[in-house]
Structure 1
Amino acid sequence: MSKIIFNEHQRRLLEANNNTVSVSDRSIQYTPAFKVRAVKENLEGKGPSQIFTENGFDLTIIGTDKAKSALKRWRKSYQLHGEDGFYEERRGKNSTGRPLEKDISDEKKLEKAEARIKYLEAELELLKKLEELERQAKKRF
């Protein structure tokens, strides 16, 4: 979470910018179009400070670190998901995160089951050894 806390005046200034969706005390939500444009300009050689300044952001308010870290995240997202990644919501209930069990092939299910069996057998063996050691310790005293 950001160390910068925006006051009411700063929030109003940031919300007035066409490149923002919303502004809270600590965060700024940018428009997908701005994110795509910023990444493309950055890949062409422009720096984060220059991109944010040219698009109407006051770096004394948001800080250069916030601009740098935002652009770093956006570049990563752009490499993984392309332009469409900025327009699709990948968080929450409707996200497509971990694949559902029904989407996994039978071969994968079998592999998973075998690995689980191996793990449980090793765990059982460990518990047996532990119980035996406890029994031996009780006999000694």
Structure 2
Amino acid sequence: MTKRQFSNTEVEYLRALPAVESVTGNRITYSRDFQISCMRRYLDGERPSTIFTSAGLSPAIIGRKRVERNIARWKVDLDIMAAARSNSTTGALSSDTRERLVTVQLGQIRSLTCQVLALKERVDALERKLDESQG
């Protein structure tokens, strides 16, 4: 099993997110608030990838397996689930639909920003290789 290493740019980006408590080259520790909020939204029927993306944690950056494993781990954490259930909203659309939409859009912007930074790193690496081969 290969563990994906985050680039320095990705580590910096992840550290700036409120959902992330700490990050290393291959590990992310999420804030307790994010874990509870994530599971509350999951209980309300949102897809895990949507929840993570809205927090700026695109599966394209952190990996789909990491999203799946976090949800699976948090589902069996009694403290997280008790807190999520006590804050859970049930029924159709909640009154904060507009706020949630803004949050989702902000997450998408963050995710796209991270993808742009990753692409910039790739372009820079390709330019260095080109310079080396020409020089």
- The structural deviation recorded for 1:71 is 1.1
1:47 aligns with 2:36: no
Match of 2:25 in 1: 25
Deviations 1:10-58 (A, max 9, x none): 1001111111110011110000000000011111111110100111112
Match of 2:62 in 1: 62
Deviations 1:40-84 (A, max 9, x none): 111111111010011111221101110111011011103787339
Q: Is the 8 A contact 1:39 1:78 kept in 2?
A: no
SS state of the match for residue 66, structure 1?
Answer: helix
Identical positions, percent: 27
Give the alignment's TM-score, normalised by structure 2: 0.56
Q: Distance in 2 between matches of 1:80 and 1:16?
A: 23
Determine which structure has greater relative contact order: mean sequence separation of CA pairs < 8 Å that are 6+ residues apart, divided by chain length.
Answer: 2
Match of 1:73 in 2: 73
Match of 1:5 in 2: 5
Q: Which runs of 5+ in 2 are unaligned?
A: 85-135
Would the alpha carbon gap of residues 8 and 18 (structure 1) be closer, same or farther in structure 2, given more than 3 Å must change?
same
Match of 1:114 in 2: none
Q: Is the 8 A contact 2:39 2:74 kept in 1?
A: yes
Q: Distance in 2 between matches of 1:52 and 1:4?
A: 18
Q: Distance in 2 between matches of 1:16 and 1:80?
A: 23
Q: 1:113-128 maps to which residues of 2 (within 5 A)?
A: none
Q: How many equivalent residue pairs?
A: 84
Q: Is the 8 A contact 2:3 2:26 kept in 1?
A: yes
Q: Is the 8 A contact 2:39 2:81 kept in 1?
A: no
Q: Distance in 2 between matches of 1:70 and 1:51?
A: 12
> Runs of at least 4 residues of structure 1 off by over 3 A?
78-81
Q: Which runs of 5+ in 1 are unaligned?
A: 85-141
